[in-house]
Each structure stands twice: as C-alpha cells, then as structure tokens.
Structure 1
Amino acid sequence: MTADPSTINDTNDMSKTEFHPCPICSTPVPHWARYPKSVCHNCFDKACDDQGRKLGFYNVSVGGGFKAIVVETGEENENHICYIESVKCWADEARFGGIVIQPFES
C-alpha cells in the first residue's frame, strides 16, 4: 500500500505506510508512487546549487508553482537542478503542493 492520505485515519500512525530508502542516505522515506525516489527531509535541507550555496525551495502561491532561492543572499535561482552530497538532483513542485526532490535522471 502506498502512503495515500485518504487511507490513514490517524496521520500520526505510520504503521500501514510503505517506505523506500532515501536515494542519498538510505533513511526510510514515506513512499508515494508519483515520487518513488524522493529524498528524506534531512537530505532535502542539504540541497545546494552548483557553487555549493544552500538553496531554499518554495511554492509561488497556494496554487503551487516553484521558486528556488539562494538562502544566504535571497537571490532567485530559476534552475531546478540542485546537488545533495554531490548527487545531481531535480527539485520541483509536488502535485498537491510542497516541493519534492529526486535524483536527476536524464
């Protein structure tokens, strides 16, 4: 079973949730079929640009959209590519809001 919110009565009860290993550090991550290689929260927070500058990711509005900024300067970064532990990744808006990062596949 995948982690479909409609099937979880108690959102704190993860006992019926399927997990996959984070592709960067192997920490268990709740599995969503749409994002089978999503990274864990700790790795998400390590995302940097190609110059090693920490990136922050945001939805543009409550309707979604994607925005990346360089944390130190507030400079907008229009590129979806980021790096986590030297692994090239792709950050993008998730289907129902939020941001998801997965390893880049060309």
Structure 2
Amino acid sequence: MPRYPRYVCADCRALAVDQYGRLVEFFNTGFLGTGCAGSYRDDQSAYLSDQCWINGQRCTAKEARFGGIVIEVTEHE
C-alpha cells in the first residue's frame, strides 16, 4: 500500500486555494525539510491552516515522512 495514496501531483498543487479562492502554498519550516506552514502566493503573508481546496476538493498539507510537503485529498467525512 502506498504511503500517500491520495497525494496531489505538482501541477495540481499549484491550484491550491483557501476557502475563499485565494492561492496558497505550503513549505517546510525547518532547515532539514521538517515542519509545515503555509502562505498566500500573492503577498507571502502567513496562511494559518493546513487545509486547502483544489478543483473544489478539500485537501490537507503535511510534512512528508522523509522531508518535503505532501498534499492529500481529504477523505469524505
């Protein structure tokens, strides 16, 4: 079974928006590829959530196991 079965590809990551449609991006906060934080793409101000929407689908960003960021489609609640 894959580690991140619902991951979002790099092309789709570029489409990530907040709940109001403003473009967001996620990045590591630590020097060694650890931590996860977000910012708005237009002015780099802090985005204080790990949730985003891509093509209308709710997604969650998190630190990947060996560094980097992975965004996955959130399972239906």
The TM-score with structure 2 as length reference comes to 0.88
Q: Deviations over 1:36-94 (max 9, x none)?
A: 11111110111111111111111001230011001112111121110000111111111
Query: Within the alignment, does 1:72 sit opposite 2:39 as a pair?
Result: no
RMSD (Å), alpha carbons: 1.4
- Gaps of at least 5 residues in structure 1 are 1-31
- Gaps of at least 5 residues in structure 2 are none
Aligned length: 75
**Secondary structure of the residue that 1:89 maps to in structure 2?**
strand
Within the candidate set 26, 49, 54, 1:57 is matched to 26
Bigger radius of gyration, 1 or 2?
1
Structure showing greater relative contact order (alpha-carbon pairs closer than 8 Å, 6 or more residues apart) = 2
4+ runs of 1 displaced by more than 3 Å?
A: none
Within the candidate set 27, 30, 33, 2:2 is matched to 33
Within the candidate set 2, 14, 17, 1:48 is matched to 17
Percent identity over paired residues: 36
